[in-house]
Amino acid sequence: MQERSRNTGRAAAGNDRSLNEPAAASGCISLIGMPGSGKTTLGRALAAALSWAFVDTDHLLESWYGLPLEALRNRLGKEGFLKAEEDALVSLDVARCIVATGGSVIYSPAAMKRLKNIGEIVYLQADLETITARVAQNPERGLVMAPGQTIEGLYRERIPIYERYADMTLRTDECSLESCLTRLKDWMHAKQTALCRD
């Protein structure tokens, strides 16, 4: 995955933006959070609502290696998987895009720096009970965990890191998909309005 220069493309995309369209100041919204927090579901819906592109970085890894996520994690091991994830993120070159990340992306300062560079970061938060139930429905998610670590341990380990990187936190277990979309679009409008005032 080679990084390409696309400054001209970004400028053109910014010039073509509809005046009625909510937008992040630098063009992208990246969603972080635990597996089961709703990153893919909400990301697809938000991208469709904005007529933006949608990228799921877990799917990027699956397509790059030609393996399901769980098989890739098993083949590479924890550290190898985290390195592969970092490599995919630091080379990400997108604009006007909703990016749904893997839950473990926060372990890479380089990957998080890249996400900050391309736009705003939204932490999708849900309580432990909700996350545990959702993960149980899809055990092939490819959770990156230390040997013997529980979902609760992973949850408590990650929360402060998600919070540290977040420009906005949205509780997805407390609102419907439509309500979450409305809150996100309102927040994006407010960010854009503040930018215009500056």
Strands (E), 34-131: 53-56, 97-100, 119-125
Average pLDDT over residues 12-21: 38
Domains of the chain plus CATH, in order, are: 25-135+149-189 (3.40.50.300)
At 46 the pLDDT is 96
Q: Which two tokens stand for residue 37?
A: 């927090």
**131 vs 151: CA distance, rounded Å:** 9
- Residue 181's closest CA among 195, 170, 192, 173? 170
Q: Which two tokens stand for residue 58?
A: 């877990």
SS3 145: coil
Q: Are residues 98 and 56 in contact, defined by beta-carbon separation less than 8 angstroms?
A: no
Kind and range of the H or E run holding 169: strand 168-171
- What amino acid is encoded at 63 in this protein? S
pLDDT digit string (tens) for 142-192? 688 888 889 999 999 999 999 999 999 999 998 999 999 999 999 998 988
pLDDT digit string (tens) for 101-121? 999 999 999 999 999 999 999
